[in-house]
Amino acid sequence: ALGIGANTALFSVVSGVLLNPLPFPSPDELVAVYTKSPTFQEGSISYPNFLDWQKDSHSFASLCAFRSDDFNMTGAGEPERVHTHMISAEFFTALGMQPLLGRAFG
């Protein structure tokens, strides 16, 4: 049973990364950049630092930022915990996407 579980997990990674490319134009050109410190193996940068990187970048076609967080949504009825992503204005453009409803930033 343990061998089947390990094989399934490995195939899921191979399938998700190699066999099924990301649903974006030029997925092989997407990279994620993180900071590394003695305290954290993989850390994020502050938004002001991101803006500096974006302004000074000459190596990338575009830079966008995102951050995941959980919030309590309140209103009618009981509060509900929701998982969200905060994104910079360039996010949809960098991925070659359009929102399904509404409009993008700008």
List the domain boundaries for the chain. Answer: 25-106
pTM of the model: 0.61
Coil/strand/helix, residue 73? strand
With residue 67 as reference, give the H or E element that holds it.
strand 66-73
11 or 27, which is more confident: 27
Mean pLDDT, residues 49-53 taken together = 89
Q: What is the DSSP letter of 18?
A: I
Distance of CA 1 to the CA centre of its chain: 33
pLDDT tens readout for residues 18-43: 556 667 777 777 888 777 778 777 77
Count CB atoms within 10 A of the CB of residue 65.
21
